[in-house]
């Protein structure tokens, strides 16, 4: 609590949470206009990205599997070599 700026009661706390949620949502949509313009495409892309992340997590063996692939990409002399398996 900075300078006694805490909520006076639970109603004040809920009001502050609602204001923070509204401001956060407004900033999110203002800085991500693609979601408002083409929500179907945005949601499809978000789902595809999530699936890629989940597939990598499930197919990896331990935390360092991604690091080994990245090391191969960074230190392989040929740019044409396929880095990811």
**71 belongs to a structural domain:** yes
The answer to the question of residue 50 being in a domain is yes
In a domain, 84, yes or no: no
Residue 33 Cα to chain centre, angstroms:
16
Number of structural domains in the chain: 1
Tell whether 59 is covered by a domain.
Answer: yes
Over residues 37-51, the pLDDT tens digits come to 888 888 898 888 888
4 belongs to a structural domain: no
- Nearest residue to 59 (alpha-carbon basis) of 84, 22, 23: 84
pTM: 0.44
> Three-state SS for 81?
coil
18/24 Cα distance (integer angstroms): 10
Q: Is residue 14 part of a domain?
A: yes
Q: Please report whether residue 37 resides in a domain.
A: yes
Domain extent for 26: 10-75
d(CA 20, CA 58): 36
Confidence of residue 23 (pLDDT cuts 50, 70, 90): very high
The pLDDT value given to residue 71: 74
pLDDT reading at 26 higher than 60: yes
**Higher pLDDT pick, 71 / 78:** 71
pLDDT tens column, 57-66: 776 655 666 6
Instruction: Output Rg (C-alpha) for the chain, integer angstroms.
Output: 22
Q: What is the mean pLDDT of the chain?
A: 77
pLDDT at position 34, please? 81
């Amino acid at each position: 609590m900075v300078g006694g700026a805490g909520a006076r009661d639970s109603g004040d706390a809920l009001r502050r949470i609602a204001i923070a949620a509204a401001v956060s949502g407004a900033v999110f949509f203002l800085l991500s206009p693609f979601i408002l313009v083409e929500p179907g495409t945005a949601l499809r892309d978000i789902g595809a990205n999530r699936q890629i992340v989940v597939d990598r997590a499930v197919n990896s063996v331990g935390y360092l599997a991604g690091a080994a692939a990245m090391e191969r990409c960074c230190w392989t002399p040929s740019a044409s070599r396929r880095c990811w398996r």
